[in-house]
Amino acid sequence: MEPRKFEIGGEKYLLGTPGEQDRKVRVACVQYQMRKIADFDEFAAQVRYFVETAGLDYGVDYVLFPEFFSVQLLSGMESVPAEEGIRKLAELAPEFRELMSSLARDFQTHIIAGSHPVLKDDGSLQNESMLFRPDGTFVSQPKLHITPWEKSCWGISGGNQLHVIETPKAKIGILICYDVEFPEAARYLADQGIEILFVPYCTDNRQGYLRVTKCAAARAIENQIYVVTAGVVGNLPNVAAMNVHYGQAAVFTPCDFEFARDGIQAEADPNVEALLVADLDILDLYRSREAGSVTPLMDRRTDLFELRVHCDASTREGDF
């Protein structure tokens, strides 16, 4: 039987041959503990510790922080009402970006910097996840679907664009927490060719955690991609609307022979600060897509169901 051929990003691959090209990547999920700090410098020291450990000790390609982990910065300020606090935090966006940009450069890794509130030109607030490249540049992915709690407590608005991000090791996308509970968002990214989906989240109880992670696992199966998740743990008693948290970082895979039997490549212990590291083989995705026990991408009934999304090919952004 002749080797099966396929092409990714202009590179040609042969499946099932001794010389097939290696496409392995290493990811790290930071299960970040929320606790009171004195100032920005103390926050920066904690963040640097995790990036340095992941980058130097483990040689990871991507480091994922949780959604809203930067809210910890409010614990070093005078306690204020929730909406006033989130706007104070948004004022620190330049310092937050500079910190993450410098760490990505220093340790030559990609950092998916959880999320941080960003004040827009029209005065609205968005919840944005920023991916920082090893050269210090970044792409900012807004949260599309805003929970009732985020709207009522913080006055956050949803964004309108999804980015497909090309990196040397993989094509990736980001969905923030609640976004992963909407299958059309992940399906759009998969249709644009992503191989790894990063999902930073922030949940205050087990029900919320289960909603996010069960949907993340489903997105991995139905789109035949890897889904990497990380949430905050711990508490911030003096910060309005950020009292308690429930988190358990995990890396989800399709459920087939190439992958872990239960579709979980790696999983941290719940509700303790941890760094979860996992190796992923991108070629396993293509083996599964072409010759898996089931092939959901290949077997889709596009004659019955069609998602109409405008995509600007020049920017690789979708407008919903």
Query: Is 42 part of the annotated catalytic residue set?
Result: no
Residue 165: phi and psi, rounded to 5, are -110, 120
Instruction: Annotate 20-44 with b (16+ C-beta within 10 A) or e (fewer).
Output: eeebebbbbbbbbbbeebeeeeebb
Among 67, 128, 181, 195, the active-site one is 67
Catalytic residue chosen out of the listed positions 143, 150, 215, 273 = 143
Q: How far apart are CA 198 and CA 36, in angstroms?
A: 27
Q: Mark whether 181 is an active-site residue.
A: no
Give Cα 127 distance to the centre of its chain: 13
Q: Which of 29, 128, 171, 177 is catalytic?
A: 177
- DSSP H or E stretch at residue 196: strand 196-201
For the question of residue 67 being annotated catalytic, the response is yes
Residue 304 to residues 71, 75, 191, 299, 301: CA-CA distances in angstroms?
44, 51, 16, 12, 6
User: How many helices (DSSP H) and strands (DSSP E) are in the chain?
Assistant: 7, 21
Please answer whether residues 213 and 229 qualify as being in contact, where contact means their C-beta atoms are separated by less than 8 angstroms: yes
Indicate which residues carry an active-site annotation. 67, 143, 177
